[in-house]
Structure 1
Amino acid sequence: MESIAHIRRNDKKIQTVEQHLLEVKNLAESYGKEAKVSHITGLAGLLHDLGKFTQEFSTYIKTASENPDNPPKRGSVDHSTAGGMFLYELLHKKDSSRNEKILAELVGNAIISHHGFLKDFNNPSLESKYLERVSKEGKREVYSKYDEFSGYFYEKVMDEESFSNYVNKALVELSEYISQSEPTTLRTSLYYLTTFIFSALVDADRTNTRHFEDEINEQKISNHELFQLYETKLNDHLIELQKSPKSKSEINKLRMEMSNQCEKCSENESGIYSLSIPTGGGKTLASLRYALKHALKHNKERIIYVIPYTSIIDQNAKLVKEILDDDINIIEHHTNVDFGPQTENELSEELDEILVNKTEKIRLATDNWDAPIIFTTMVQYLNAFYAKGNRYTRRLHNLTNAVIIFDEVQKVPSKCLSLFTESVNFLDKMGNSSVLLCTATQPSLETIKRKIHVKNEIVENLPDVVKAFKRTEIIDKVKDGKMSREDLKFFVGNIMDMNQSLLIILNTKRVAKELYAELDTSNVGATVYHLSTSMCAKHRMDVLEKVRNDLDDGKKVICVSTQLIEAGVDVSFECVIRSLAGIDSIAQAAGRCNRNGEKKIGNVYIIDYGDEKLGNLSEIEKGQKVTRQKLIDLANEQGENKVDLLSPEVIKLYFEKYYNEIESLLDYPLQIVGGNMNTTMVNVLLGCPFMNEYISKSKENRSKVTLLQAAHSYAAEQFFVIDQNTKSIIVPYDKVGEEIIADLNRPYGIEKLSVLLKKAQQYTVNVYENDFKKLSESKALRYLYDGSIYTIVPSAYSKFYGIDLDNSSLVDIIQF
């Protein structure tokens, strides 16, 4: 048998199986080091392609290489089962210890799944997809080659004694890992360990394959050296700020004090900290100051900003890149440029790299978050732990030994809250990461069932700091009843008679677009701007730049926006109108009013806008309900007892009431299809809701019951951070967007393609399935890269609204 793992396309050079296994082992070990599970992850790398040690696979891959236009049927040779079966036969015997069985299950599931997704140990159908793969009864054709692939392994990779020693080291690591978990949380700890091993294996395998195929000998720059350089540049920037006359203002003195407190706290040990700097308090630079100094002191590998909205990423990443003078090592990953649904072939257990098509090449090029500083979204963060698709999970291991800053942490979707807190606790306790929970409206995560264990609040004397930062007055117009669009237009006119600038924030894109259209054609005596997520990131940044310039020039300005402008967007209006929402949203809206203390107090009006139809936006509705009651309560308070709507005590009470209102949603409710059972995602992953029934079903053969019970694949199929799937569309906004689209019509290698896709993120808009269908029906969609990437015709993208579902932007092109 000729040992072949891969055959390079351009020169037919062979990477042997033993080379690939040992190189992937080394990479996987390095990924598992900081979590103290390097031999466990290394074991997965060592055995993942064991099934390639067969004459059948050798013949298969040579035939595929020699006949690229007519290769053998994909998946006709199973090479990923062997490693999992090998471990199961060695460690999952009747007399095996509990930890030996757990190790076989943890590592074996990663191995058999590394070209697809983790298998269910048990699921609602009372099936163990894991056992169906690793047991000799389930895969007789693989077991018939057991002596062949195990013999070659011991001969070419590692002898039996050395392998036994290696397994023993992995068992020691597992024992230590388990000892750090409470008995009541052991299943939770093992779920995250399983997912971590899978992540390390997938990334090690993909990385080694890419390096071989593209002949890359990667020499990484030391992140530690970069962080030292970054810290120097940040300090230089802060010194320059202090030289400015504006630095003497009270607001800027307070900002510098917050920054100094962050630097002081960076000396503390790793852990979870809250940073409750009031809105407009400069938390972007303050948190960066903390992160760089903390990373240097505690040897963290990377800094990751997790942000709720792409609009904040646009601004914050731009600011950080400018200050640190580096746009190469600081990456933004706010959308996967979505390449269409995964096909059956792509989800095949036997995705052989020699046969990758264009779509799969794109997936191999997707970021794995191996960069010094990363800006990403909460959606992408949660997907790394829970979503279907190993391209998501591949990134997870890079969340360990990191400084992770969750900006606007109160925006975690309610149904995902328990999953979020458990993942953060894992990264803190097992992943050696430090976590910063940043927001002006700190949610009461210590009061929910699956709480986060916060070490400390960074801001000292928080109530006094909030009072010092006060720059706005909240004015309750909700008590006056619902406001129609005509009422709102009249109200806007009155406000603009007394102010130069006004920001209006509404809860849906539809009403924001409609109000903008009416104001833009009305005699309001101001330039009217519009912002929504129907615009790509570059488009939004350009609009914001125009808004800032007009504000700086003292021109009359009205901006109509959805909530995307609320969090983290550095812009200051004289006055703000906010449609009724949760107190956290109102606080963020207030942060766009009189942001820099341009006058003593700016007014923020809360209205009940009658034109809004919230539909499926239940979280906004529930937030409205709690806020409405709080406004009533505060209106009844008198004298010294009266407190501000945005005070820390009211915000704390708001979140306690809000989480109590939605307690049944926090664990991600699930309805088992085809059955009467209601459960939760948390229970399916971190508990064992089907175990008793499965044991009863398997009572004649109790050895066929796994110790682990997580329904990985079943749960991942049900998991969406937002309730509907979205598709990503690259839009032809400006010349650069058009050039990206043109370039994606050309064939490229993975490295060039990866660069293009990163660039395309600034020109990407996510749309829901129903909107995608409308674009398709109106003939506005176009397909790139063999149909794997979506774009639209220029007439479907408006310079005023972004993606135009009416496909009516052609009128704009004709007129202008």
Structure 2
Amino acid sequence: MVQLYSHPDKLLKDHLFNVYQLGMKKFENKELNFNNLEKIKLVTKIVLISHDFGKSNKFFQRKLNLKMEGQENGEEYKRLDNDSKSNHSLLSSLFTYYIADELVDNNLLSLLGMIVVYRHHGNLKNFRDMVRIKEWGVLEEQFNNIPLEALQEILDLAEFEINITNLTFDKLRDKIGSRQFRSNVRKLKKRLVEESNYLIVNLIYSILISSDKAEAIFYSKGLNYERLEELVLSRRDIDPEVVDEYKKLKGWDKPESKMDEQRNIVYDEVVKNVRKADLNEDRILSINVPTGTGKTLTSLASGLELRDRVGQNYRLIYTLPFTSIIDQNFDVFTKVFSETGFQVDSSLLIKHHYLTPKNYIKADDYEDDEYDISKHLIESWNSEIIVTTFVQLLHSIFSNQNRSLLKFYNISNSIILLDEVQSIPHKYWKLVKVILERIAYKLDCYFIFITATMPLIYSEEKDEIKELAANKEDYFEFFDRIKLNLAEFREEKTIDDFKEFIVQELEDYSDKNFLIILNTIKTSVEIYEYIDELLEDRIIEGETIYLSTNIIPKERQERINKIGDSDQRQIIISTQMVEAGVDIDLDRVYRDFGPLDAINQTCGRCNRNFNPNKKGIVTLVKLINEDHNDKTYASYIYGNTLLRNTDKLLSELPDIVEEKEFFKMNKKYFKRVDDVKSDDISINLLDKIKALKYEKAFWKDENGEVFNLINQDFETVNLFIELGEQAQELWKEYKNINEMEIDGVEDYSKRKAKFEEIKKDFLNYVITIPKQVAKEQLEDEQLEKTFNLIDYYQYETVYDEQIGFKRDKSEVDTFF
């Protein structure tokens, strides 16, 4: 029998059978709650075994042989490479549909299997486009040049009870290209009325592409199937009491202050209620407690306790809104496990965001220096605990992208913790509510929402979410760390008005550390320079620290580390970036107007550790731009719905609001937001999801909005600031990497791997700013590349070491 290949020197039957075995083990290891599970399982089997059947056509095989002979630059190879007859996905999908239609009594599932195979090398499209076939002439020529006996041998390997050796093209076309088929498609489109079909497609698609990529990558690196299975499927047990042990090691089980005692009370109650939760009904949970109550350890403990109850094969996915907090929490988790005797490696714990290096390490002396393998293992979340961002999680649930959906199957059977969940835009609340609920029940998941300011995505009053901190009102009542001063908020202030006010405050409270949070980079720079002049003129004393996304990350982190570590009084001037999980504690905080949840985050930076001898003061002001029709600076950053509701609520409160009133204040705020918000965008997206309109929901829709967690209506550029010798060396390395010769996929992969080695250090010198701001200082040709160099000799003209990029007039700001 003819030898057919799937990849260079890889037999097609071996590749397909390996993918089939690996994929089915992934499927069978999952607890799933679909009504027609056995039929979904059968379709998954068919998809896995047949996904590359189209590669058996002689045109694909000839092209692959030429590649194996090293003739990729020859005329014949180039001609075949541009000839659609050497493609394989569409033809494979027709085989998938034929076999599924013969074996599975479900037309819709057969179609879903077909579109999964058709798009397994690309991104998912709209349902209608994925089932509309026009290339019948090409398909016929491909089909007539396929050895069906070889494909039958592969089906026999997987013990399918079907014979395709006598299949003709006319029979295949009659099944898929007939009027009856088109009529069935029209009828089936009317049945696409629930989100479960979307989850089924994503699950099978994810199992296929993750298994297909893994098998191809591992084989290309000389690793056998057994090693592949061991790395991808092996799991580890975690003692649910590891956080308790860690707390004992630190002596935190014996509190030395009221604050420590309160943290333990919160911790104990949350863990106790996890043990009591109804595992069938209580799938959406929450931990709604004040800032500074030890949410990180409490959340980890609750997740591990829940995992112990539902099964050790359930992953923990801990998500946060900003990359700046990821490293901080990851380091805490690492300490918990390493200090209690756990072997901490990538099989136990990984972090995943755009800055993390792709380096997968296992304790059994396995460190994968092969970039492709490490990248695959990390990006498909092969670990017990994943610390990642909302973007990584939600854009893996709401996506048509192959790369994003790679990890979707590992979202099933997981415990997903969303820390600072109030960061999810309110326009997506209904979308998130509906889809996460379906995921919880169909894919057997649990969600824990963690925040001091709980948004009304789910209603506790309607029993849609179960609170684990049952005595949360008592906890908010207990805290008496700060006062929110609204007296200055009553009247709008220009920047000059604010300068007069703040200098008086700095003089009156000369022994206090200050944090001043402004909404735009321009205002933050102006106030910083003003206060710096006051220091130079010895009108006030202390040292200034400036923080914003306008300065390079390396310098930003060094400045954050300095906060609280000085004999001098410190005055920190920052944009709202300091609210994003930066663990600092100041005496007096001043903030320009913003949504209430942002104001709450600000309050968490004041007297955070509950010093009973000094109550913190957070003063709110409302700054306006007199050069722009008295527009509030807050409106440059935040949406009108949140600002209007915050403004209205604050106008009803007394000048001084005690911290113990925050819980009621926050509850009232989110109730009002829920009442006035529009669900139109969510409803539109849900309609597109139900109809499997992947591209229109997640890529491009001229008549509606696509899902995008981070909205940015202006173009940005990346500037590499060559500040210091390390930066100079990094830019040289980057330039050398970019100049590496690329002759095929292997070389491209090597180049990416080389950049991964320097990526984290390299990005420490990169700022991302609006293009229109950059154009004030730089020519167009300096702004055209992925990373644009501001070299050592030029940077002083456009970059100030204290305030960062020199801006002129623009008020556009980036926060993410």
TM-score normalised by structure 2 residue count: 0.77
Measured after TM superposition, the shift of residue 156 of structure 1 is 3.1
CA separation of 1:220/1:664 partners in 2, compared to 1, >3 Å: closer, same or farther? closer
Aligned to 1:542: 558
Measured after TM superposition, the shift of residue 604 of structure 1 is 0.8
Q: Choose the corresponding residue for 1:47, options 28, 42, 50.
A: 50
* Conservation of the 8 A alpha-carbon contact between 2:53 and 2:92: yes
CA separation of 1:75/1:314 partners in 2, compared to 1, >3 Å: closer, same or farther? farther
Q: Choose the corresponding residue for 2:205, options 198, 202, 218.
A: 198
Q: Choose the corresponding residue for 1:156, options 148, 153, 156.
A: 153
Measured in 2, the distance between the counterparts of 1:327 and 1:90 equals 43
Q: Choose the corresponding residue for 2:71, options 67, 72, 81.
A: 67
Aligned to 1:29: 24
Measured in 2, the distance between the counterparts of 1:643 and 1:361 equals 54
CA separation of 1:390/1:243 partners in 2, compared to 1, >3 Å: closer, same or farther? closer
Are 1:459 and 2:474 counterparts?
A: no
**1:194-234 Cα deviation digits (max 9, x unpaired):** 12222222222222221122224344399864633x954x4
Measured after TM superposition, the shift of residue 510 of structure 1 is 3.2
Aligned to 1:604: 618
Letter in 2 for 1:557: Q
TM-score normalised by structure 1 residue count: 0.77
Measured in 2, the distance between the counterparts of 1:805 and 1:43 equals 59
Measured after TM superposition, the shift of residue 753 of structure 1 is 4.8
Aligned to 1:682: 686
Q: Choose the corresponding residue for 1:714, options 681, 696, 701.
A: 696
Measured in 1, the distance between the counterparts of 2:97 and 2:732 equals 50
* Conservation of the 8 A alpha-carbon contact between 1:314 and 1:541: no
Are 1:532 and 2:558 counterparts?
A: no
SS at match of 2:699: helix
**1:281-340 Cα deviation digits (max 9, x unpaired):** 11011111222333344224432221112222232223333443447554333337999x
CA separation of 1:413/1:286 partners in 2, compared to 1, >3 Å: closer, same or farther? same
Alignment of 1:400-799 (within 5 A): 400-446=412-458, 454-497=464-507, 498=509, 499-523=511-535, 524-535=540-551, 537-550=553-566, 553=567, 555-598=568-611, 599-611=613-625, 619-635=638-654, 646-667=661-682, 680-686=684-690, 709-718=691-700, 719=706, 720-724=708-712, 742-744=732-734, 745-746=736-737, 750=749, 753=752, 757=756, 760-761=759-760, 764=763, 767=768, 770=771, 774=775, 777=779, 780=782, 793=791, 795=795, 799=801
Measured after TM superposition, the shift of residue 421 of structure 1 is 2.4
Letter in 1 for 2:351: E
Alignment of 1:305-384 (within 5 A): 305-325=318-338, 326=344, 328=346, 330-335=349-354, 367-384=379-396
Measured in 1, the distance between the counterparts of 2:682 and 2:791 equals 42
* Conservation of the 8 A alpha-carbon contact between 1:416 and 1:667: yes
Measured in 1, the distance between the counterparts of 2:31 and 2:754 equals 30
* Conservation of the 8 A alpha-carbon contact between 1:368 and 1:395: yes
SS at match of 1:306: strand
SS at match of 2:4: coil
Letter in 1 for 2:542: A
Measured in 1, the distance between the counterparts of 2:658 and 2:252 equals 37
Measured after TM superposition, the shift of residue 269 of structure 1 is 5.1
Are 1:238 and 2:260 counterparts?
A: no
Higher gyration radius (CA): 2
Letter in 2 for 1:504: I
CA separation of 1:605/1:758 partners in 2, compared to 1, >3 Å: closer, same or farther? farther
SS at match of 1:528: strand
CA RMSD of superposed structures (Å):
4.0
* Conservation of the 8 A alpha-carbon contact between 2:427 and 2:678: no
Q: Choose the corresponding residue for 1:118, options 96, 104, 124.
A: 124
Measured in 2, the distance between the counterparts of 1:532 and 1:332 equals 24
Measured after TM superposition, the shift of residue 190 of structure 1 is 0.8
* Conservation of the 8 A alpha-carbon contact between 1:300 and 1:403: no
Alignment of 1:200-349 (within 5 A): 200-216=207-223, 217-218=227-228, 219-220=230-231, 225=236, 227-228=238-239, 232=242, 234-242=243-251, 247-267=255-275, 268=277, 270=279, 271-297=283-309, 298-325=311-338, 326=344, 328=346, 330-335=349-354
Percent identity of the aligned residues? Answer: 22
CA separation of 1:78/1:646 partners in 2, compared to 1, >3 Å: closer, same or farther? farther
SS at match of 2:652: helix
Measured after TM superposition, the shift of residue 4 of structure 1 is 1.4
Aligned to 2:814: none
Measured after TM superposition, the shift of residue 391 of structure 1 is 1.3
* Conservation of the 8 A alpha-carbon contact between 2:46 and 2:100: no
CA separation of 1:542/1:291 partners in 2, compared to 1, >3 Å: closer, same or farther? farther
SS at match of 1:274: strand
CA separation of 1:304/1:540 partners in 2, compared to 1, >3 Å: closer, same or farther? farther
For structure 1, the 5+ residue unaligned runs are 8-13, 122-127, 168-182, 340-357, 669-679, 687-708, 807-816
Measured in 2, the distance between the counterparts of 1:474 and 1:753 equals 49
Letter in 2 for 1:260: D
Are 1:80 and 2:92 counterparts?
A: no
Measured in 2, the distance between the counterparts of 1:201 and 1:23 equals 11
Aligned to 2:176: none
* Conservation of the 8 A alpha-carbon contact between 1:84 and 1:112: yes
Are 1:4 and 2:5 counterparts?
A: yes
* Conservation of the 8 A alpha-carbon contact between 2:585 and 2:608: yes
Measured after TM superposition, the shift of residue 408 of structure 1 is 0.7
Letter in 2 for 1:158: L
Q: Compare relative contact order (CA 8 Å, sep 6+) and give the higher one, 1 or 2.
A: 1
Letter in 2 for 1:559: I
SS at match of 1:483: coil
Aligned to 2:398: 386
* Conservation of the 8 A alpha-carbon contact between 2:252 and 2:260: no
